[in-house]
Chain A
């Protein structure tokens, strides 16, 4: 897919939960380029000497009606704080689309999409794409508490939603891997997961137990986003490969988990 370096305009910025920011961006000079669920963008962050590199952010949604790119950002450091402080109408320089996305199922299938924290972000785009193909996915979304569960109303537009929280403030108490949904794991045809690495590794173990094909989206620290600097490598069955180029989505059979 052709990649672009574009100045997008920030149409709307909002905080779906405290500590998170949703940026809704449009291309002022035409349509947005084609993008696939699981791909990511590299956002330029200007402002402080400490925010030198671009920030990789997964594609939360491409809203086809508004031709908007949604980026959901967890505010954790100086770079993401700068993104949270952007004002509407600001220009945001973005390199996109990067990496390879999720493998979409063909024909009838019952995919289970499992996300944790801000890792749920790319699963919304995936859910939209699946719904567009007549597939109704099941979402299993986890967070530390109710305040970490994001965009639940949006997820419900595309499929059935189950949630877990570690403190029990919403859904079932515990981790996504402990949810009662696993008792009927055989009803699902495949698993897609994105979230903290320990969560994805636990999901991968369960996927193997239930003999379900599984793809996981990694978020190793990166610099270039283009497969040039070799900083973001993951140790796979093919050796060290760039998460930014060969991933961020990997079949778990390729990972040494």
Chain B
């Protein structure tokens, strides 16, 4: 049985990766997960300069999900290169960096510095963070904005470039086409859906900046539909995410057109969920007498 998949020149031992911002640098989960069994780890959003993120409170629980407005808190790309990279470069799995910024130049400079790290085979370009005022999602909601960032990064980043798309758009297929045209190797979708929560007793929004990004099973049908639409729109591989809680969810994303998947919020509910998803995909292939997981990609179309 063959669980391996490829995204551009990036070979993954299986299609199960962890979503940025939900799995730290992987090390936080080492007591629960054999990290070397993962298809990949996408580490938290990294920017050229350090960011403090948004004030507390940054989280609200919702029906079958949660909202967050963390706002890309991170210590900056140089800190990552000097202090985190040596800790994660030999985990036995593909370690990808999620890159964010507030101008095409800053995205590109951050990507350029990560390109110099031998053991980071790919980046995920975050043009879809709903929780920062400048940049982030601002680029991901128009074809021109998305194309401008991808063009700048593509010019300096020769390895596998995955672009993470926002669902907060009229046509995600159009955005996917725009980034494909600028040379993206793959797209990942979806980032969180913009939402909010209000405390009825206090009569105030719960989150410090009012709005946040919704994740968890609540968003899965939306994510699945978008993967389905983008599969028909582009030729590059799709990484699917959004509310995946178990192997069946992951398989549904692959059937809709995803080559690989990312597990995000589910890590908070079961820190070992990724192992169960990998095992469950294997069981599914056996049960259906399918030799390669690649045969699932887009098979529902």
Contact = CB atoms under 8 A, between A and B. Distances in A.
A205 interface: no
Contacts of A231: 57-59, 68, 70
A60 B98 CA distance: 39
A226 B24 contact: yes
Contact of A2 (B23, B31, B55): B31
B271 interface: yes
A239 B268 CA distance: 24
A187 interface: no
Contacts of A223: 59, 66, 68, 265, 268
B73 A240 contact: yes
A154 B109 CA distance: 59
Contacts of B53: 230, 233, 240
Interface residues of B, number: 34
Nearest to B23: A228
Interface in B1-22: 21-22
11 contacts: A52-B61, A53-B269, A220-B57, A223-B265, A224-B28, A224-B267, A226-B24, A227-B28, A228-B29, A229-B21, A229-B59
B121 interface: no
Contacts of B59: 221-223, 229, 231-232
A64 B59 CA distance: 36
B21 A230 contact: yes
Contact of B61 (A4, A53, A230): A53
Contacts of A148: none
B24 A228 contact: yes
Interface in A148-168: none
A49 B64 contact: yes
B101 to A, nearest CB: 18
Contacts of B268: 53-54, 223-225, 228-229
B227 to A, nearest CB: 22
B66 A221 contact: no
B56 interface: yes
A76 B217 CA distance: 25
A107 B70 CA distance: 42
